[in-house]
Structure 1
Amino acid sequence: FKLKVGAMPWRQDFARVQALADKLPTGVLLRLDANRAWDFETAVRFLEAARGLPLQLLEEPLVDSDEVALSELRHRFGVAIGVDESCRTLAALERVIERGAADVVVLKPMFNGGPRASLKLAERAAQAGLRVLVTGAFETEVGRRTALALASSCRGRALMGCGFDSPFADTGPEQATLPCTQREAPSARLASLRVPCPLHNAAVARPLALAVDDGQRALCWSELEVEARKVAWLLSERFDIGPGERVVMSARASTEWVVALHALNVLGAVAAPLADGPQWEQQLRELRPRLVIVDDDGSAPTSSPSVGLQTLTLNRRADDRFSNRKSSEMNRKSVVVSEARNPNARAVPPFPAVQWNLNAVRVVLWTSGSSGTPKLVELTGQQLLFSALGSAQRLGHLPGDRWLCCLPLQHVGGLSILFRALFFGTAVRLCLPFDTEAVVAELFTGEVNLVSLVPTMLQRLLDARPEAPPSALRAVLLGGAAASPELLERCAELRWPVALTWGMSETASQVATSAPGELGAGLAPLAFVDVEADESGVLAVSGPIVQGQRLHTSDRGTVDERGRVTLLGRVDDIIISGGENVSAGEIERVLLTHPAVAEARVVSVPSREWGARPVALLTSASEARPESAELDAFMRAHLEPLRCPDAYFWLEALPSSALGKSTRVLPAELLQAVDFQTVVGVVGRPKEKRLP
């Protein structure tokens, strides 16, 4: 089904296309033709909003037909791009091919110089792997038959279809499918599936139940909905935020932060939680947000003034009003959000809640895992919903549940707690940033039922209060890194209800999770999740938490006959040394059996002779730190020489991410202090090195 767009503002176009998509039968795809009506920014905004729609093709979106910009649209949104009036000659087609600017070439013989010239274009497009779509303008019968003849000649040249009602237009399903589009995934049937606004549902079902509390301000679900809708109106009116728009949330975690998150959900916009740091400018370039939400203390992320982004300030002071002011440091328009809840401010009409398109992106996260290589991960409503359902099925769900959130909201482990509470109408107690004494105090109030931690956090809690957990605590979701056998033994002895979990940002959190208190025999995948291990032991995940596709993870493991998953480490744990695969995880497990070793991390360093060799980073369980020769002898009693570290380094603390997860990125002081070429590369001779 083809529809013209671009003759009216993009929001009106989107509303028309969305309304049509809702009426179309399942499996029917849309072709849109903008006739070069949009600039790049408008095209981005439309495609951000239209992510969940069943689009097969977008013809000529850009006014200047910039091939580089077209290529970016293809790869950023996964939508098939068609070129028509900007590709009437072989020279123009070559530019399109060279820059990867299109998937489809639209041929109109009367504009391309006749049937022979059009046939040459079709042949070159087919050679480059592009599809051909033959159509026409206002033709005479001669022109129409010419186009039909061309379409017939192109059937062996990846013909996508014909713009006429004729036998030639029936190209079959194998030719009607474009390999580039995201809509071809098995989850395409959910592309136009919508559910009522979850925030509104929670407010209707549990209006007076606690929704969020940060220790300074608490809101019930009805209050949270009212405030979120008002802030949504402000975002729409002041900043023109609409469906698909990306908004960076860099403010500190608070009740106001949660209100802003739900306001973006009401609008259908995309929340991008982001912590300030050295990669801030790179992250902004990747995200291309329309707005940045900052704190009310006058501070702002360390960004270049040239970025030119608008900022919105979360203000906790009820007596403030709106103020338009310039930030001298960043030269951005700034608005203080307090009028939405200020009784003395002028009335602000609430923004109507819209239905959720399950296939639309709701959240963008910046994640690097343990490899240190950052990337953007988009999460749809479908992924967030099925993740929450699977978690509730495994951990249990009660209407009066209260989650303690002490994981950063910039990470999926913290953010997913807010969405679980949203879908089930339960409460969240924010306790951020993580502080051992504060978290212990919250847990032992007897009001917290669930908490999510990484092993380092749990170790600190048990060190601070080594006793049985409070009776109200039903589950401790433990993930993000492998827990040591000693920690698990301690939890078992004290009867802490630990539920081990394996997950990642790409799956909206959990993939496989044990029942609380079950600490052995692998992890059972959540409902709606399939996990398989390939021949090399790499785990793959499929199901609605990955949009119905198949995600090849960076983790290695096994899946037994019952379907339980046992993790063996990460793909980047493998060090190829002398042509042999050496497992860093296996070395770490042996090192941790030594009584003097508290923590162990094995990293790969270059070797002239072997390509790469393992080096061990250690922390001690006591003041005694064995010499390298003693450690090497211990390791050789368990592993063959090739698999033993070439050097051992004692550190005060192992490198970790902001979340406390382990990382195999070498600390800067170690890189500066040691020339690794002088300490590795000789298998069979222990190396003795300590940091100066």
Structure 2
Amino acid sequence: MTEIPHWLEKQYELQPSAVAVETSEDQKITYEELRSQSRMMASGLINRGVSKGDHIAFLADNHFNYAVFIHAVSYVGGIVVCLNTRLTPSELAYQVVDAEADYFVVDHHYAQLGKQTVDSSDLDLQIVSLEALPQTEKNNDLKETINFNDRFTMMYTSGTTGSPKAVIHTYGNHWFSAVASALNLGLSESDKWLVCLPLFHVGGFSLLMKNVIYGMPVVLLEKFDPSKVNRLIVERNISLISVVTVMLQRILEHKKGEYPVSFRGALLGGGPAPEPLLNKAFQFNIPVIQTYGMTETSSQISTLRPQDAWRKLGSAGKALSSASVKIVSDGKECSPYDIGEIHVKGPMVSIGYYHHEPHREDYLSTGDLGYVDQDGFLFVVDRLKDMIITGGENVYPAEIESVLQEVEGIQEAAVTGMKHSEWGEVPAAFVVRKDNWSVTIEELRIYCMTRLAGYKVPVEFYFIEELPRNASNKIVRRNLHSLIDKEGRNGDK
């Protein structure tokens, strides 16, 4: 059993007057204030009946009280079930029931959504307002230490196939994720991380962990806004941001002027990055630090070091300290450049899913495809389930999407497989044009024929208004087929 002093208590001891969290509106809270508010809220939770091991479903936006609440729950020893604010009542009801929530806390923005969620479930669950939680000055039952083996959070997978599952994270998972990231990226007293991702996803939540484990301030952006991101990087001397592909695209589109010397780079996750995007960032002199991770790995598990950012453009780097990554195909580890499934292990890897058997294998099978080069750098290719098999040939949608985004006038693209009587499957492309551009289907087809093998060229092209995405801005390819009748075929719209 490994115990350490409660990480918020430690930061209060080390730097009580230092700023812990800022907002984009220039509100600030120190570690002393964060500790005090969290402890008072924890006492209020206890007085309400919350006890160690209780599951507390939590529905809220990016703001101070998100940080206050999660630390309050840690002082009690409860488990936070982080809920996605973009889900429908029926989707949330499934997760609240599946997680066996004992309490349901919502901020005032989601009072109605919370009520609809409970009404959609069979639970007799009272909705508790985050802002109205009772707070008391003192309670002697608060936890002063953290046990690495205790469960702290549950976060649902994106649910891109089947029903989403609740990933269980221990305190140790979050701790080792943060420490391994610092050993890879380095840590400076002047570091400040801009939080653009939603806190209910592991990429955003992990920054609240870094905040109290490193003693590093973070700036919370309630909703992603590319113009605000660019402004805050300059005005607040931001050193790092975490983004996914579509966010980086929009940041570059709105960028004006140079970033300050304090800016060390943008950590890019959420899947393979199109090469044109990486080249554009290179032209803007913005280091893109590609990462690979998932909810099951408590955020990143492989990250490109800043000094390799340009030399290994497109790579997700090497496994973080204390982690291991290997490529497997047909039960055997692959040679360099051979594509296979990415397998990972390390103390940041989740112990398993709620209601499922814990992970018992040495390595976790990720369901992602990739390869390593001769130097051991990981390159993520695509999701295993998204791979298209046409006439016996493997086709990776991300490769085609990258080519399509090279075409001037194309905003973004997504590719999926469509059934075909002769080839089994063939690629179909869904394309979003930039405003006031009139790229044609024939232009796209001809360009693809110059850059791709014939079997990789999409058989069908569809112009659509926007790509279907989930709350973490990942493309949901299973939803593409439903757009065909709605948007029209081969650019008819």
Is 1:528–2:327 an aligned residue pair? Answer: no
Match of 2:92 in 1: 280
Q: Are the structure 2 counterparts of residues 437 and 242 from structure 1 closer, same or farther at C-alpha, using a change threshold of 3 Å?
A: same
- State the Cα distance separating 1:627 from its structure 2 match: 4.0
- State the Cα distance separating 1:262 from its structure 2 match: 0.2
Find the partner of 1:222 among 25, 32, 47: 32
Name the amino acid aligned to 1:223: E
Task: Give CA deviations for 1:5-43 in whole Å, capped at 9, x if unaligned.
Answer: xxxxxxxxxxxxxxxxxxxxxxxxxxxxxxxxxxxxxxx
Cα distance in 2 for residues equivalent to 1:668 and 1:204: 56
Name the amino acid aligned to 1:530: S
Listed as ranges, the matches of 1:397-408 within 5 Å are: 397-408=187-198
Match of 2:124 in 1: 308
Find the partner of 2:68 among 251, 256, 259: 259
SS of the residue corresponding to residue 117 of structure 2 reads coil
Is 1:690–2:481 an aligned residue pair? Answer: no
My pick for the range that moved more, 255-264 or 290-299, is 290-299
- State the Cα distance separating 1:515 from its structure 2 match: 2.3
My pick for the range that moved more, 249-258 or 292-301, is 292-301
Q: Are the structure 2 counterparts of residues 636 and 438 from structure 1 closer, same or farther at C-alpha, using a change threshold of 3 Å?
A: closer
Tell me, yes or no, if the aligned pair for 2:276 and 2:402 is still in contact at 8 Å: no
Q: Are the structure 2 counterparts of residues 300 and 657 from structure 1 closer, same or farther at C-alpha, using a change threshold of 3 Å?
A: closer
SS of the residue corresponding to residue 253 of structure 2 reads helix
Is 1:291–2:92 an aligned residue pair? Answer: no
- State the Cα distance separating 1:339 from its structure 2 match: 3.6
Name the amino acid aligned to 2:384: V
Q: Are the structure 2 counterparts of residues 201 and 644 from structure 1 closer, same or farther at C-alpha, using a change threshold of 3 Å?
A: same
SS of the residue corresponding to residue 379 of structure 2 reads strand
Which has the greater radius of gyration? Answer: 1
Tell me, yes or no, if the aligned pair for 1:314 and 1:338 is still in contact at 8 Å: no
Cα distance in 2 for residues equivalent to 1:396 and 1:374: 34
Is 1:519–2:332 an aligned residue pair? Answer: no
Listed as ranges, the matches of 1:636-675 within 5 Å are: 636-667=449-480, 670-673=483-486
- State the Cα distance separating 1:475 from its structure 2 match: 2.7
Task: Give CA deviations for 1:180-229 in whole Å, capped at 9, x if unaligned.
Answer: xxxxxxxxxxxx22222111111111111111223475321122122212
- State the Cα distance separating 1:630 from its structure 2 match: 4.4
User: Structure 1 stretches (4+) deviating beyond 6 angstroms?
Assistant: none
Cα distance in 2 for residues equivalent to 1:596 and 1:388: 40
Q: Percent identity?
A: 29
Listed as ranges, the matches of 1:55-454 within 5 Å are: 192-214=1-23, 215=25, 217-238=27-48, 240-276=49-85, 277-278=87-88, 279-296=91-108, 298-301=111-114, 302-305=116-119, 306-315=122-131, 336-337=132-133, 339-340=135-136, 347-349=137-139, 351-368=141-158, 371=161, 374-454=164-244
SS of the residue corresponding to residue 128 of structure 2 reads strand
Q: Are the structure 2 counterparts of residues 558 and 662 from structure 1 closer, same or farther at C-alpha, using a change threshold of 3 Å?
A: same
In structure 1, the gaps of 5 or more residues are 1-191, 316-335, 341-346, 676-687
- State the Cα distance separating 1:639 from its structure 2 match: 3.8
Q: Are the structure 2 counterparts of residues 547 and 635 from structure 1 closer, same or farther at C-alpha, using a change threshold of 3 Å?
A: closer
Cα distance in 1 for residues equivalent to 2:61 and 2:444: 44
Q: Are the structure 2 counterparts of residues 474 and 644 from structure 1 closer, same or farther at C-alpha, using a change threshold of 3 Å?
A: closer
- State the Cα distance separating 1:470 from its structure 2 match: 1.8
Cα distance in 2 for residues equivalent to 1:294 and 1:434: 21
Q: Are the structure 2 counterparts of residues 525 and 654 from structure 1 closer, same or farther at C-alpha, using a change threshold of 3 Å?
A: same
Tell me, yes or no, if the aligned pair for 1:370 and 1:661 is still in contact at 8 Å: no
Tell me, yes or no, if the aligned pair for 1:469 and 1:495 is still in contact at 8 Å: no
Task: Give CA deviations for 1:155-200 in whole Å, capped at 9, x if unaligned.
Answer: xxxxxxxxxxxxxxxxxxxxxxxxxxxxxxxxxxxxx222221111
Match of 1:605 in 2: 418
Cα distance in 1 for residues equivalent to 2:219 and 2:128: 24
Tell me, yes or no, if the aligned pair for 2:397 and 2:415 is still in contact at 8 Å: yes
Tell me, yes or no, if the aligned pair for 2:118 and 2:125 is still in contact at 8 Å: no
Is 1:565–2:378 an aligned residue pair? Answer: yes
Cα distance in 1 for residues equivalent to 2:375 and 2:50: 48
Task: Give CA deviations for 1:217-272 in whole Å, capped at 9, x if unaligned.
Answer: 5321122122212211211221x222222111102222122111001111221111
Listed as ranges, the matches of 1:565-644 within 5 Å are: 565-620=378-433, 623-644=436-457
Task: Give CA deviations for 1:360-394 in whole Å, capped at 9, x if unaligned.
Answer: 22111112165575222111112111110111112
- State the Cα distance separating 1:691 from its structure 2 match: 5.0
Tell me, yes or no, if the aligned pair for 2:440 and 2:491 is still in contact at 8 Å: no
SS of the residue corresponding to residue 433 of structure 1 reads coil
Task: Give CA deviations for 1:560-618 in whole Å, capped at 9, x if unaligned.
Answer: 34321111222123113344433223332333344454422111223344433221111
Cα distance in 1 for residues equivalent to 2:97 and 2:33: 36
- State the Cα distance separating 1:422 from its structure 2 match: 1.2
Tell me, yes or no, if the aligned pair for 1:446 and 1:470 is still in contact at 8 Å: no
Cα distance in 2 for residues equivalent to 1:436 and 1:638: 31
Cα distance in 1 for residues equivalent to 2:285 and 2:446: 37
Cα distance in 2 for residues equivalent to 1:637 and 1:490: 22
Find the partner of 2:287 among 476, 494, 497: 497
The CA RMSD over aligned residues, in Å, is 2.5
Tell me, yes or no, if the aligned pair for 1:371 and 1:664 is still in contact at 8 Å: no
Name the amino acid aligned to 1:314: L
Q: Highest relative contact order (Cα 8 Å, sep 6+), 1 or 2?
A: 2
Cα distance in 2 for residues equivalent to 1:350 and 1:266: 11
Name the amino acid aligned to 1:295: D
- State the Cα distance separating 1:409 from its structure 2 match: 0.7
My pick for the range that moved more, 584-593 or 531-540, is 584-593
In structure 2, the gaps of 5 or more residues are 330-338, 352-361
Cα distance in 1 for residues equivalent to 2:191 and 2:456: 48
Listed as ranges, the matches of 1:20-35 within 5 Å are: none
Tell me, yes or no, if the aligned pair for 1:230 and 1:351 is still in contact at 8 Å: no
Cα distance in 2 for residues equivalent to 1:461 and 1:547: 32
